[in-house]
Structure 1
């Protein structure tokens, strides 16, 4: 099969890998229809974070090609959403709802595991991992939103849930990438009354407003903190969503949080520190981390299919496997918010 291969910093190519085969009776083989490039993939591309040489890509939807003998909930031909991590659904962590930290799981597209930027993926623990999409004849817009559920929508939702967003809240979203924009969707979905999005990019500003942001600020750092405190009467926001992972974004999120608020942090950390003085003396909490996407997908899927949310709008660049190099470059150069990769033919009638 053809698949995207990581050869080191700045080295993204398309090559051949062995076709995946069922290894256990609980496996399924998924023929990928749509994949994405994730912001975290760019950290590897830049050489900032390590990544094993070989397959890459952890966001995809596709069609079941083969199912092992023990797979009972899925059959060939089913359209499925794959969370970015696979899980057994039975370990202590999964039982507690933390499927992204499964004791027997792992992530797609690393350490030899098939990636979503390739034609086929072997999915371990298929019944526990994959989510079947009901119905048929889904529009292209819905299909894009389905692939957004594999990571960024769930991760933005995790930031909002971790921060305890509730009806009537004022929320600040630090970060205007795909996760931050999905955080705006999530905050709106959970009932926030005022949503302040921090963004300097006109395209992303417009999308944030479409998703429900009531205020868009171009300021950063201390200037952003000062302005948000003024906007909230010196109190701060009820919940802060940290969707970047840098030192400045973490400081901003804690700087705008009101006494007793929680920062929901989902950005991959890079030189970021938790300000313990703020935690202790302002009673500001910190929650977040790897999103338990498999737990969130079913409820978010219902909203996508009903047209209540449309996270696929963050996918503003499209290519096929032959254009994967520019898919990475477009995001690195901020020509794209998020790159969609059309890998294979869609399920009959779906596209």
Structure 2
């Protein structure tokens, strides 16, 4: 087989498309690969021809230099592809299958996987539980913003689409199953959204929009989305959300009161994470802002879903505490209000099959909600720049020009 091309992180603010090695069923040494994972044989894996692969806000944290990601790291953990090579130990996945790849890498054999907590698999990352493709400190599994990629534990992990032709007709929706749709849905489920709920979603980026759409699917009466970016708020409003511009109107509880008649919601979802900014026109970065604000506006006994990313290593943080993930959170407020917090990576496999059926049936319109925008592999560096400027799009890379 020939070579491969992939989106590679160079240095803060810089990515480029490079020629790289064609994948094999083994994890080789390279940027970010844990030494204990080098040479790991993956006869339980497959090689995919990538059909679509998306740019994620989590990638953007690395590209901004806000993690310890090494230069040369191949990016991309949102992958949909066609199986073109099958390892010796793969029994049920076949060549030609069109599949969605959960961004969590999971063995299917450890205690966490057996308990459906595939987000904290114990066997794929020597540093700590949990792993992902193309991501810093996640074991070094090669990312999928590329033409071809290797995926381990194929029989356990891969979600096969039942009808390839029909799947391609809805591929811009189905590509969201690898991460942001399950992540937004997990945030809504973790927050306890149910029919009649009032919900506040912090952040109108792609995950926030996915969480808002998920809350609607779960029957929420009112979904309020807050952000500092007017363009992203307009996207949230386009599919029926109420919105709060926290740059223009920094008092969140007052704005919720104007919408609902009371200054609180039943539950809230943090889709911003550690690069949060303070509310108002002149405030800079304040990483605890969202966590503290959602505790303030969520009723006593409410739940907080926190799919927004928080890290243990942030070299770009404003203070020494924040550099190691220590934030000034008002835990006393959360304790006094008996709040429930749910954090961490999303266990994608708990949700992706159900969400696939919601897409195929026409019930879910996630591509429309997040403004899915198709681009070529060569356009990825420019898309990263536009995404960093806050454009309200979810960029979907089509490496082979397969999407009509």
Q: The TM-score by the shorter chain falls in which range?
A: over 0.9
* Aligned 8 A contact 1:82 1:150 in 2: yes
C-alpha change, 1:138 and 1:209, in structure 2 (3 Å) is farther
> 1:19 aligns to what?
22
5 Å-filtered alignment, 1:1-351, equals 1-23=4-26, 24-53=42-71, 54-105=73-124, 106-110=131-135, 112-138=140-166, 142-213=170-241, 215-219=242-246, 223-229=251-257, 231-234=259-262, 236-245=264-273, 246=276, 247-269=288-310, 271=322, 272-313=327-368, 314-346=370-402, 351=404
Q: How many residues align?
A: 347
More RCO (CA 8 Å, sep 6+): 1
CA shift, 1:190, in A, is 1.2
* Aligned 8 A contact 2:253 2:263 in 1: no
> 2:39 aligns to what?
none
CA shift, 1:206, in A, is 4.0
| SS in structure 1 at match of 2:224 | strand
C-alpha root-mean-square deviation of aligned residues, in Å?
2.0
CA shift, 1:230, in A, is 5.2
* Aligned 8 A contact 1:114 1:120 in 2: no
* Aligned 8 A contact 1:330 1:336 in 2: no
CA distance in 1, matches of 2:375, 2:381: 10
TM-score (ref. length: structure 2): 0.81
CA distance in 1, matches of 2:169, 2:252: 34
CA shift, 1:288, in A, is 2.5
Structure 2: where are the runs of 5+ without partners?
A: 27-41, 125-130, 277-287, 312-321
| SS in structure 2 at match of 1:260 | strand
| SS in structure 2 at match of 1:94 | helix
TM-score (ref. length: structure 1): 0.92
* Deviation digits for residues 65-86 of structure 1 (CA, Å, limit 9, x no counterpart): 1111221221011000011121
CA distance in 2, matches of 1:148, 1:262: 25
| SS in structure 1 at match of 2:144 | coil
CA distance in 2, matches of 1:284, 1:299: 28
Range 2-11 or range 134-143, more displaced: 134-143
